[in-house]
């Protein structure tokens, strides 16, 4: 595989020549993964291309109303990959996080791959890679590329890209928000992105059960250390079982820790597949969490990163994180 690095101009030249693609994203998809994948699918179909989106993992509950009318596969296409011109991988920084569906390894050998992402540490193997770390979301890169190609932005595509930008910026709260982010979002609204549908789904659809789970987490699991500069919580499986709640719907739980006044770093720990998964967030550019995540074998952005530790011991992982964060603060 050539693995050619390219900017959005070159990526738009590659994309404009593709006529029939399969689009994939990362495992346990979040708003930007869904928005980018379903948005690009809708955009290409709206511009007389053939595009299928593969989403093998269960989707977060709150996004279901948004995807109701979207077209996507939940299983690896029966006819294999040779029916497509290319595979497009979106918002996914590493080979082992690409969601290809059961039994299919990444990278597949029998197809060209275009990788588009905004994670600076992206090392996905692909023919062509367009990585734009400044972009607030992968959806934002796609809006830029669509304009470069001259594709018509359909209302459905605009709504999905709006979802991706809205969720990856935390509704414009995070430091990845730039003037360009707002310009792109303005263009999406001009093209009839459904603001109300996105906001209702993302911010006004919490279940009462989740609200009770969150209240219990704040009361009984969240801790604040280092004079209020570090907020963290380690959530055992029995706590999730108590509410029948899962991290699939917990994309924003860590914000309950980061939102506290004075907190610079927030960390959430829980078990995923028998291993401790750690989410890290910073709200002070002077102490980014990307380097710590990388040091521990994970990755992500400077201010929002993650790692999966090779242990199932939540308490010792929490103690180790506390010590590491202490060195940063």
- DSSP for 185-213? HHHHHHTT--HHHHHHHHHS---HHHHHH
Any contact of residue 141 with ligand 5GP (CB under 6 A)? no
The CB-of-181 to Mn ion minimum distance in angstroms stands at 13
> Rounded distance, CA 19 to CA 112, Å?
13
Any contact of residue 165 with ligand 5GP (CB under 6 A)? no
Scanning 208-216, 221-229, 294-302, 310-318 for contacts with ligand 5GP by CB under 6 A, the matching segment is 294-302
What ranges in the chain are assigned the alpha helix state H? Answer: 8-16, 31-46, 64-67, 138-149, 155-168, 179-190, 195-203, 208-220, 237-243, 255-258, 290-295, 314-328
- Residue 4 φ then ψ, to 5°: -90, 125
List the structure tokens of 115: 């990788």
Any contact of residue 121 with Mn ion (CB under 5 A)? no
Any contact of residue 305 with ligand 5GP (CB under 6 A)? yes
Site string for ligand 5GP, 225-254 (x = CB under 6 A): ------------------------------
Any contact of residue 104 with ligand 5GP (CB under 6 A)? no
What count of Cα atoms within 13 Å lies in the side-chain half-sphere of residue 121?
Answer: 15
Contact partner, 32, from Mn ion, ligand 5GP, none, Cβ < 5-8 Å per class: Mn ion
> Rounded distance, CA 142 to CA 188, Å?
12
Write the CB contacts of 78 (distance below 8 Å, at least 6 apart in sequence): none
Scanning 138-146, 211-219, 225-233, 293-301 for contacts with ligand 5GP by CB under 6 A, the matching segment is 293-301
Any contact of residue 300 with ligand 5GP (CB under 6 A)? yes
Any contact of residue 159 with ligand 5GP (CB under 6 A)? no
> Rounded distance, CA 69 to CA 300, Å?
31
Scanning 154-162, 174-182, 225-233, 295-303 for contacts with ligand 5GP by CB under 6 A, the matching segment is 295-303
Q: Within 10 Å of residue 7's Cβ, how many Cβ atoms?
A: 11
Any contact of residue 41 with ligand 5GP (CB under 6 A)? no
Any contact of residue 298 with ligand 5GP (CB under 6 A)? yes
Contact partner, 249, from ligand 5GP, Mn ion, none, Cβ < 5-8 Å per class: none
Of residues 18-37, which lie at the interface with Mn ion (CB under 5 A)? 32
Q: Which is nearer to Mn ion, 142 or 318 (CB)?
A: 142
- Residue 174 φ then ψ, to 5°: -85, 165
List the structure tokens of 43: 């955009």
Contact partner, 117, from ligand 5GP, Mn ion, none, Cβ < 5-8 Å per class: none
Which residues contact ligand 5GP (rule: CB under 6 A)?
93-94, 119, 279, 298-301, 304-308
Which residues contact Mn ion (rule: CB under 5 A)?
32, 91, 137-138, 168
């Amino acid at each position: 595989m050539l693995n050619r690095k390219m900017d959005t101009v070159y990526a738009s030249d590659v994309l404009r020549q593709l006529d029939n693609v399969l689009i994939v994203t990362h495992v346990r998809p979040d708003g930007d993964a869904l928005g980018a994948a379903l948005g690009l699918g809708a955009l290409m179909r709206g511009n007389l291309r053939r595009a299928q989106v593969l989403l093998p993992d269960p989707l977060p509950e709150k996004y279901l109303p948004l995807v109701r009318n979207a077209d996507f596969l939940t299983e690896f296409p029966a006819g294999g990959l040779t029916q497509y011109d290319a595979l497009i991988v979106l918002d996914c920084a590493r080979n082992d996080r690409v969601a290809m569906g059961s039994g299919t390894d990444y990278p597949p050998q029998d197809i060209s791959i275009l990788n588009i992402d905004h994670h600076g540490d992206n090392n996905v193997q692909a023919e062509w890679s367009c990585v734009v770390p400044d972009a607030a979301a992968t959806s934002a890169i796609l809006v830029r590329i669509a304009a470069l190609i001259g594709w018509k932005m359909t209302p459905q595509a605009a709504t999905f890209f709006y979802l991706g930008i809205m969720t990856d910026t935390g509704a414009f709260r995070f430091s990845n928000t730039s003037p360009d982010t707002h310009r792109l979002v303005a263009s999406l609204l001009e093209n009839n992105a459904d603001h109300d549908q996105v906001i209702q789904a993302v911010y006004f659809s919490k279940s009462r059960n989740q609200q009770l789970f969150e209240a219990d987490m704040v009361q009984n699991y969240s801790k604040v250390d280092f004079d209020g500069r570090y907020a963290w919580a380690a959530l055992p499986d029995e706590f999730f079982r108590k509410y029948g709640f899962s991290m699939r719907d917990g994309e924003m739980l860590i914000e309950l820790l980061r939102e506290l006044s004075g907190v610079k770093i927030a960390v959430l720990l829980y078990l995923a597949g028998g291993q401790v998964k750690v989410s890290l967030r910073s709200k002070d550019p002077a102490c980014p969490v990307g380097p710590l995540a990388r040091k521990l074998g994970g990755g992500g952005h400077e201010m929002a990163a993650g790692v999966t530790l090779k242990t199932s011991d939540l308490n010792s992982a929490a103690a180790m994180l506390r010590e590491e964060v202490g060195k940063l603060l």
